[in-house]
A and B are shown apart, each in its own frame.
Chain A
């Protein structure tokens, strides 16, 4: 049950695009298309942004997209906006009913 690996921080200017990676193993990310992504603003509960690798819940902007290749999942955000500044966490099913999160990535909009 080791945490998934995410970069500690990423940054971009308004209007730019960024990508956040999430690296797991063949026991979690690599084995299941059950990767989700969460946005968390300071002092707030997390918010689901992407589920099942690339699906967007109703109400989430189409500027957010997800993908996966092998043991690595990615979250892309296009047309960066100031309100996108937040912490982002990936999450994967890890087998035997268990779940693992990534360590989190702090997105700064310059």
Chain B
């Protein structure tokens, strides 16, 4: 059974930083692109970033470019999202998902990030 487990969410002040982690099991992690997708409270899904199997390619939605960095460690079957200069509009549940280009066939349960003073 595939499991994706996110962690690292929480309450942070505007301008602050947070690092999300996603631990994968039950799949050949190094064979998958991975993505982060977020959902603001009561709103729709928004793709945030993705990363190629070997980490050589990374792409971002315009609104997070220069502030967020996606990375991965295939030895630890994990993908990360470093979020800097956080804004109120970054408040959302952040999901990690395996990315088949794009078909997100496995999702985590999500981790809530709240940006507020």
Closest-CB distance, A33 to chain B (whole angstroms): 11
Give CA–CA (A22, B104) in the complex, Å. 18
CB of A57 within 8 A of CB of B59, answer no
Bin the interface of chain A by size: 20 to 34
Q: Of B35, B44, B60, B61, which is within 8 A of A89 by CB?
A: B44
In the complex, are the beta carbons of A101 and B105 less than 8 A apart?
A: no
Say whether B27 faces chain A, with CB atoms less than 8 Å apart. no
How far is the CB of B112 from the nearest CB of chain A, in Å? 12
In the complex, A98 Cα to B63 Cα: how many Å?
Answer: 12
Task: Tell which of B50, B59, B107 touches A46, judged by Cβ atoms closer than 8 Å.
Answer: B107
Q: Does A99 contact B (CB under 8 A)?
A: yes
- One digit per residue, 1 when the CB lies within 8 angstroms of any chain B CB and 0 when it does not, for chain A 29-67 equals 000001010101000011110011000010000000000
> Are B50 and A45 touching (Cβ within 8 A)?
no
Q: Does B46 have its Cβ within 8 Å of any Cβ on chain A?
A: yes
Within 8 A of A (CB), among B88-117: 95, 99-105, 107-110
* 15 additional A-B residue pairs with CB within 8 Å, beyond A46-B37, A89-B44, A98-B60: A34-B102, A38-B45, A38-B104, A40-B45, A47-B107, A48-B103, A51-B103, A51-B105, A87-B44, A89-B45, A91-B104, A96-B59, A99-B47, A101-B37, A102-B44
Spell out B's residues near A (CB within 8 Å): 35, 37, 44-47, 50, 57, 59-62, 95, 99-105, 107-110
